[in-house]
Amino acid sequence: MSDGPGEDEVQHGRELQAKLDMYLQGLTFTLLGLAVQTAKFGSSRIADALELLGWLALIVSGVAGLSRLQWVPVMYTTHGKLRAVRHRYKQLVRASQFQVTAIPDPEIQYLTRDEIITETAKCKVRIHRLEQEDDQLSRSGILKLLAHKWLFVCGLILLAIARGYSPARVVLLNEYPAISSEPAKQVAPPPAVERAQ
C-alpha cells in the first residue's frame, strides 16, 4: 500500500532509475574491457594518445558510478530517517498545543508538557543535522552521476576518434598505399624434405 498520492509513481521511477544505473555501469566496464582487448597501437601518436585518454575516461566514469551506487542506500536511509523525525516533530508540536495529548502515538501520549517541549527541541536539532547530511549526500550523488555520465560519453567519443583517426586520415588526405601495376611474382614452394630411410 502506498504512503500517499503519487507514491507508486515515485517508487516506479526509482526502480527504473536503478535499472538504468546498473545497465550504464555494466556497459561502461564492458566497453572498457572491449577497448583494451582490441587496441592496436603504433599507427599514430595522436590515435594512441586518444585511445589511452578514452580508457582513462571510462575508468574514472566506472569508478564514479560504483561510488555513487555504493552511497545510494545511505542516501535513502538518511532521507527515510529525516522523514520519520519530521513526522515525530509534527506530532510533538500538535501535542504541545493541547492540554490533554490527543495523539495516538503511545510514546507521545504519556509525556508531560515539559517532556514534550524537550523532545520537540531534540527533534529540531536532529532534523537540522539530518538535513545537512541529506544535502551533502545529495550534492555528492549528483556530482558522481554527472561525472559518470559525461566521462562515459567522453570516453566513447575519444575511442571513436582514436579508432577512426587513421582510416579518416587515409580517406581525407588520400594517403592510400601505392598499388603496383606489375603482376605479383610467383613464389616457389619450399622444397619437400624427404624422409631419411
Q: Which of 14, 38, 66, 32 is nearest to 152 (CA)?
A: 32
Write down the residue that cell numbers 624427404 correspond to.
194
98-139 pLDDT per residue, tens: 655 455 566 666 667 788 788 889 999 999 999 999 999 999
Q: Find the mean pLDDT for residues 90-105.
A: 69
**By C-alpha distance, which of 19, 48, 69 is closest to 161?**
48
User: pLDDT-based confidence at 177, cuts 50/70/90?
Assistant: low
Q: Of all residues in the chain, what percent carry a pLDDT higher than 70? A: 78
Alpha-carbon span 152 to 63, nearest angstrom: 11
pLDDT band at 94 (very low <50, low <70, confident <90, very high): confident
C-alpha cell read off for 97: 498545543
pLDDT digits (tens, 9 = 90+) for 4-49: 667 788 888 888 988 999 999 999 999 999 999 998 888 889 999 9
